[in-house]
């Protein structure tokens, strides 16, 4: 199968379970859920310990780009296992894998797209990089740094504040637009539009 025929694998990073649903760490899941709504898909359990939806971005019919949206159902720090299993199952080249994740070093609500790089202490990326190497795309959703002396782990596992929630729908929507642009228009065009 040529790389052109291979789908894109869009991985929203987060933790499974209702107690984590509104956490800053789960913005990847929020973006994946919105993208599934846009392609009118429903997440289904996959043997790779993930929930997946298959569909297309872009124009309807075969002209659209094939995508597999995935939410690993392991905890964040074990995301690499399910992503690698999905990569192998769908035969996705590494440069067609996109991780959507929260990013401490970028202010809320700012986006940055890039290819490759370090994990910046993010356990989901650390696990993916350990399993596959670093050369996959990232859609980095800025959540900013914890206030005062709050521990990073406590901060990322807290829900967005009431002030942040006023912009959250807009932010998730913009991140979903950025993912679609990355797949349909390429990294450089997506960066010039969405990297603020």
Cis amide bond preceding 109, omega within 30: yes
Catalytically annotated residue among 25, 101, 122, 137: 25
Please, are residues 15 and 78 in contact by the beta-carbon 8 Å criterion? no
Q: How far apart are the first and last CA of the chain?
A: 37
Indicate if 46 belongs to the active site: no
Query: Rounded distance, CA 128 to CA 175, Å?
Result: 20
Strands of the chain (E only): list them. Answer: 8-12, 44-46, 50-57, 65-72, 97-103, 111-115, 137-142
Strand, helix or coil for residue 80: helix
- Active-site annotation, residues: 25
């Amino acid at each position: 199968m040529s790389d052109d025929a291979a789908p894109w694998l869009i991985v929203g990073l987060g933790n499974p379970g209702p107690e984590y649903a509104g956490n800053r760490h789960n913005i990847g899941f929020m973006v994946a859920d919105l993208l599934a709504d846009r392609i009118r898909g429903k997440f289904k359990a996959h043997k790779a310990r993930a929930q997946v939806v298959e569909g297309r971005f872009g124009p309807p019919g075969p002209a659209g780009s094939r995508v597999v949206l995935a939410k690993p159902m392991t905890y964040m720090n074990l995301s690499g296992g399910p992503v690698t299993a999905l990569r192998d199952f769908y035969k996705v080249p590494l440069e067609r894998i996109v991780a959507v994740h929260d990013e401490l070093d970028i202010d809320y609500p700012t986006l940055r797209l890039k290819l490759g790089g370090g994990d910046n202490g993010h356990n989901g990326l650390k696990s993916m990089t350990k399993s596959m190497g670093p050369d996959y795309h990232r859609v980095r959703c800025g959540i900013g740094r914890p206030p005062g002396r709050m521990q990073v782990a406590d901060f990322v596992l807290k829900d967005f504040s009431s002030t942040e929630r006023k912009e959250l729908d807009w932010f998730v929507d913009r991140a979903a637009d950025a993912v679609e642009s990355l797949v349909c228009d390429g990294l450089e065009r997506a960066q010039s539009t969405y990297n603020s």
